[in-house]
C-alpha cells in the first residue's frame, strides 16, 4: 500500500498503487532488477498541469489575485515569459503526485462542469507524460471573469 503525505500532514493510502497497471492499453513492465532511477521535479509536473488546465474551455486564468498581478507585470518586462506553472502547486512523490490549482472561471460557465473537465484533463496529461499516479486534484475557484473586465490596464486576457 502506497502512502503520500499531503501538505496538511495527512497521509493518503491507495491500495495497489505499487502494483503495475495498464496505461493506454499497454502493461507496464515489471523489472526483475532495477536499472536506474528517474526523478521528476515538482516544476515539471507544475508546467504540465498548468498547460493542461489552460486547454479547458471556461478557464479564464490560473492563480490567485496577487499571483496574477505579479505575473502580468512579469509578462510585460522585456524578455519576460509567462509562467506555465502559475496558480499550480504540486507535491511529487516517487510514484504519486497531488495537485492544487487556483483558477478564474469565465462568467456564464457551469463551475461544476469546468472543474470536472479541468480535473480530468490535468490528470490525463500528468499521468500520460510522467507515469505518476495523480491521487488528487484540488481546485480553488478564486474568481469569475466578467466580460467587461478585459481592459488593457489589467494585463489579463483570455488564457490560450
In the chain, where are the structural domains located? Answer: 41-149
pLDDT score recorded for residue 5: 56
Helix ranges restricted to H, the chain: 42-54, 65-76, 111-130
Show the 3-state SS of 122-142.
HHHHHHHHHCCEEEEEEEEEE
Between 43-52, 63-72, 133-142, the lowest mean confidence (pLDDT) is in 63-72
Q: What is the mean pLDDT of the chain?
A: 77
For 41-149, which CATH superfamily applies?
Cation efflux protein, cytoplasmic domain (3.30.70.1350)
Tens digits of residue pLDDT in 74-97 = 555 566 555 567 899 999 998 999
DSSP secondary-structure letter at 28? Answer: P
Contact assessment for residue 98 and residue 71, using Cβ atoms and an 8 Å cutoff: no
pLDDT score recorded for residue 136: 97
Q: To the nearest whole percent, how much of the chain has pLDDT over 90?
A: 51
pLDDT score recorded for residue 1: 41
Contact assessment for residue 32 and residue 39, using Cβ atoms and an 8 Å cutoff: no
Dist. CA 30–CA 17, nearest whole Å: 14
Residues 6+ apart with CB under 8 A from 98: 4, 6, 7, 12, 90, 91, 134, 135, 136, 137, 138
Amino acid at each position: 500500500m502506497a502512502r503520500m503525505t499531503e501538505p496538511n500532514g495527512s497521509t493518503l493510502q491507495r491500495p495497489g498503487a505499487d502494483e503495475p497497471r495498464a496505461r493506454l492499453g499497454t502493461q507496464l513492465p515489471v523489472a526483475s532488477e532495477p536499472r536506474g532511477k528517474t526523478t521528476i521535479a515538482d516544476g515539471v509536473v507544475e508546467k504540465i498541469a498548468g498547460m493542461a488546465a489552460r486547454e479547458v474551455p471556461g478557464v479564464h486564468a490560473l492563480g490567485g489575485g496577487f499571483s496574477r498581478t505579479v505575473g502580468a507585470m512579469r509578462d510585460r518586462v522585456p524578455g519576460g515569459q509567462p509562467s506555465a506553472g502559475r496558480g499550480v502547486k504540486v507535491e511529487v512523490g516517487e510514484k504519486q503526485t497531488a495537485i492544487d490549482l487556483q483558477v478564474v472561471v469565465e462568467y456564464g460557465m457551469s463551475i461544476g462542469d469546468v472543474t470536472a473537465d479541468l480535473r480530468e484533463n490535468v490528470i490525463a496529461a500528468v499521468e500520460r507524460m510522467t507515469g505518476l499516479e495523480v491521487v488528487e486534484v484540488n481546485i480553488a475557484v478564486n474568481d469569475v471573469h466578467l466580460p467587461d473586465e478585459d481592459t488593457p490596464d489589467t494585463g489579463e486576457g483570455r488564457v490560450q
